[in-house]
């Protein structure tokens, strides 16, 4: 397969889509990112890496961080994790409060904000310094000791995070947040404010395409079964209320973020990351989604 040629073709085909979406600005700091950027990185399980465009530019991973904190919490809690958070697609906005009331404080899934706050709460209970632990984990997965939070983005999230505060206190009222709400939110805002490049993100997703083995060290972090569950949650819940559309168009498990990044994988074969800041109305990167649809179509390699 001529991956460089395929990726170049994809970049050419998505280029006319610039201008169709909008950079997220509800977190003011994210609104400052120049829109016309497109990065793509394919990381094959045999170690080959094919990077294109702005694949070396750091961006805010935002909700993609939820997959990593989830995988860490799953290692700590095992199946008990699912007593505190469900595994059904939500069909509502990622920061919706409504469902939480109906479902008595058990979030639909760990990839919407309410569920992610429960996951972060688990890390706050488990670690003395959860922020340092998240960085340690991401540095291990990427093989890069420079992974950091962007302090201005974290502060901007805090200043504009009214809904996340509401979700945090709501969860607390149901007894599904065990720590101080402010402390959990501080960690949550920081995990969302982690910056990575497409190359780093694709490397970090190798854990899931390698069935739970971290390929740099050969360390097994998740069992086969745990990895299956996490990939299944990504497939059904990873793309806001567009998870069906993403599965239909692309056919890979993954996770998107409002920074414009999308990380995805094909178990046993590859992981990839694409980034372009302009989002569609559902919050997914316009060029990113199209690029991934073209990738699985042109290569014939998707879950389906």
Active centre residues (catalytic):
63, 66, 188, 240, 258
Pure H helices in the chain = 3-14, 65-77, 98-102, 113-126, 130-142, 151-160, 162-173, 181-192, 198-204, 206-209, 224-237, 243-249, 286-299
Residues contacting 81, CB < 8 A, separation 6+: 73, 74, 110, 119, 122
Instruction: Report the C-alpha gap between 257 and 283 in whole angstroms.
Output: 7
Please give the backbone phi and psi of residue 279, each rounded to the nearest 5 degrees, phi first: -105, 150
Told to check if 186 binds ligand GLU by CB under 6 A, we report no
* Spatial CA neighbour of 24 closest among 235, 191, 258: 258
241 touches 90 (CB < 8 A): yes
Q: Which of 21, 38, 40, 62 binds ligand GLU (CB under 6 A)?
A: 62
Q: What character string, x for contact with ligand GLU (CB under 6 A) and - otherwise, covers 240-279?
A: -----------------xx---------------------
Q: Which is nearer to ligand GLU, 72 or 258 (CB)?
A: 258
- Contact set for ligand GLU, span 162-181 (CB under 6 A): 164
CB 63 to ligand GLU: min, Å: 3
Told to check if 157 binds ligand GLU by CB under 6 A, we report yes
CB 95 to ligand GLU: min, Å: 6
CB 41 to ligand GLU: min, Å: 19
CB 46 to ligand GLU: min, Å: 31
Told to check if 69 binds ligand GLU by CB under 6 A, we report no
147 touches 201 (CB < 8 A): no
- Contact set for ligand GLU, span 78-97 (CB under 6 A): 94-95
Told to check if 117 binds ligand GLU by CB under 6 A, we report no
Told to check if 113 binds ligand GLU by CB under 6 A, we report yes
Please give the backbone phi and psi of residue 52, each rounded to the nearest 5 degrees, phi first: -145, 150
CB 34 to ligand GLU: min, Å: 19
Q: Which is nearer to ligand GLU, 44 or 119 (CB)?
A: 119
State both tokens at 138.
């991401």
Residue 130 DSSP code: H
Q: Which is nearer to ligand GLU, 214 or 242 (CB)?
A: 242
Q: Which is nearer to ligand GLU, 39 or 257 (CB)?
A: 257
Give ∠ CA 225-229-230 in degrees, rounded to 5. 120
State both tokens at 240.
């806001």
* Spatial CA neighbour of 184 closest among 125, 235, 272: 125
Instruction: Report the C-alpha gap between 55 and 42 in whole angstroms.
Output: 10
* Spatial CA neighbour of 192 closest among 160, 223, 232, 218: 160
CB 212 to ligand GLU: min, Å: 25
Q: Which is nearer to ligand GLU, 192 or 252 (CB)?
A: 192
Told to check if 99 binds ligand GLU by CB under 6 A, we report no
Told to check if 192 binds ligand GLU by CB under 6 A, we report yes
Residues forming contacts to ligand GLU in the complex (CB under 6 A) are: 62-63, 94-95, 113, 157, 164, 192, 257-258
């Amino acid at each position: 397969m001529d991956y460089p040629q395929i990726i170049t073709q994809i970049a050419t085909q998505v280029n006319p889509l610039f201008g169709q979406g909008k950079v997220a600005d509800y977190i003011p700091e994210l609104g400052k990112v120049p829109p016309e950027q497109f990065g793509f990185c394919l990381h094959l399980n045999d170690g080959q890496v094919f990077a294109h465009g702005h694949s070396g530019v750091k961006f805010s991973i935002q909700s993609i961080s939820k997959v990593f904190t989830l995988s860490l919490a799953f290692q700590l809690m095992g199946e008990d994790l699912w007593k505190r958070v469900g595994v059904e697609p939500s069909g509502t906005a990622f920061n919706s409060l409504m469902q939480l009331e109906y479902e008595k404080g058990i979030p639909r899934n760990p990839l919407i904000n309410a569920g992610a706050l429960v996951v972060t709460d688990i890390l706050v209970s488990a670690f003395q310094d959860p922020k340092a632990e998240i960085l340690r984990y991401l540095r291990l997965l990427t093989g890069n000791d420079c992974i950091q939070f962007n302090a201005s983005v974290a502060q901007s999230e805090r200043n504009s995070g009214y809904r996340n505060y509401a979700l945090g206190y709501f969860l607390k009222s149901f007894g599904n947040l065990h720590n101080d709400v402010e402390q959990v939110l501080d960690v949550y805002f920081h995990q969302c404010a982690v910056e990575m490049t497409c190359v780093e993100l694709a490397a970090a997703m190798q854990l899931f395409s390698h069935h739970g083995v971290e390929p740099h060290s050969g360390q097994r972090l998740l069992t086969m079964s745990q990895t299956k569950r996490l990939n299944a949650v990504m497939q059904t819940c990873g793309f806001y209320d567009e998870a069906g559309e993403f599965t239909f168009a692309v056919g890979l498990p993954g996770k998107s973020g409002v920074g414009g990044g999308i990380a995805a994988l094909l178990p046993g074969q590859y992981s990839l990351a694409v980034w372009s800041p302009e989002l569609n109305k559902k919050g997914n990167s316009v060029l990113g989604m199209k690029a991934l649809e073209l990738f699985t179509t042109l290569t014939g390699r998707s879950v389906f």
